[in-house]
Amino acid sequence: QLQLQESGPGLVKPSETLSLTCTVSGGSISSSSYYWGWIRQPPGKGLEWIGSIYYSGFTHYSPSLKSRVTISVDTSKNQLSLKLSSVTAADTAVYYCANIVVVVAALDPWGQGTLVTVSS
Amino acid sequence: QSVLTQPPSVSGAPGQRVTISCTGSSSNIGAGHDVHWYQQLPGTAPKLLVFGNSNRPSGVPDRFSGSKSGTSASLAITGLQAEDEADYYCQSYDNSLSGWVFGGGTKLTVL
């Protein structure tokens, strides 16, 4: 059973880079059957897709965040990572990683999420 | 403002049926892209409820059903239960934005 767990700093200063890791267990991040995605949810608001990555390294980013986002995979550690540069208070959110089955293109399962606050 | 439009809230009494709409356009739902639905219970991560417009993952009760027509989709919940009180989100792909999009979410209150 696939499980995902996000980790990283809960507090980031404005203008700095937010870095998060998602550890995958119960399956291989190198499987050709899966994509992997990052989604965020500002407090009290809705969901926003950040981007996705295939095990080969092919990435697909939200146009609104593309200039600041980098998503990568580390197959040796079965992890994917998210970097978001030049953060502002508007980037304060719960960040989720999720599995995407290629033939379905739906997000399942999701990690539990991690709250990142941008503040000095 | 979300690309996919959902009502902010719906409500119903236990045992009743409610529907949640998800309205898109010719660049997303109307372009033939599948719609998926997620349930987010308070303080938890979203959970896949319906995929591919009308399919339920194993373990999801058949009280939940999805449909799609034209540029819209709907989630129906029958036999409402108190445990169904949650936020519900639709999701699809948008050609113009070249990316995945979510609805703004609908809060279901069980009266």
> If you count residue pairs, one on A and one on B, with CB atoms under 8 Å apart, how many are there?
59
Tens of pLDDT along B53-108?
Answer: 999 999 999 999 999 999 999 999 999 999 999 999 999 999 998 889 999 999 99
Phi first, then psi: give them for residue A7, nearest 5 degrees.
-150, 155
Q: Which of B4, B5, B41, B48 to mutate to test the interface with A (most CBs of A within 10 A)?
A: B48
**Model confidence band, residue B10 (pLDDT cutoffs 50, 70, 90):** very high
CA dihedral B4, B35, B20, B108 (to 10 degrees): -90
Half-sphere exposure of A30 (CA within 13 A, CB side): 5
Mean pLDDT of A85-96: 98
Residue B46 to residue A110, Cβ atoms within 8 A: yes
DSSP, collapsed to helix, strand or coil, labels residue A73 as strand
B46 upstream amide cis, omega within 30 of 0: no
- Which neighbouring-strand residues pair with B65? B76
Q: How far is B41 from chain A (nearest CA, A)?
A: 12
For chain A, the residues whose C-beta falls within 8 A of a C-beta of chain B are 37, 46-49, 52, 60-63, 96, 104-113
Q: Which residue in A116, A108, A94 sits closest to A26, CA to CA? A: A108
Going by pLDDT thresholds of 50, 70 and 90, the confidence category of residue A102 is confident
Give the chain A residue whose CA is nearest to the CA of B49.
Answer: A108
Question: Chain A contacts of B41, Cβ < 8 Å?
Answer: none
pLDDT for position B26: 96
Q: Is the pLDDT of residue A104 over 90?
A: no
Residues A48, B45: C-beta atoms closer than 8 Å = no
Please report which confidence band the pLDDT of residue A101 belongs to, taking 50, 70 and 90 as the band edges.
confident
For the stretch B21-59, pLDDT in tens is 999 999 999 999 999 999 999 999 999 999 999 999 999
- What would the pLDDT profile of A25-80 be if each residue is shown by its tens digit? 999 999 888 899 999 999 999 999 999 998 888 999 999 999 999 999 999 999 99
Are residues A40 and A50 in contact, defined by beta-carbon separation less than 8 angstroms? yes
Confirm or reject contact between B91 and chain A (CB < 8 A). Answer: yes
Contacts of B4 in chain A (CB under 8 A): none
Judged by a CB distance cut-off of 8 A, whether residue B66 touches chain A is: no
- B41 in contact with A at a CB cutoff of 8 Å? no
Please report the DSSP string for B3-58 in residue order: SBB--SEEEE-TT--EEEEEE--TTTGGGT---EEEEE-TTS--EEEEBTTTB--T
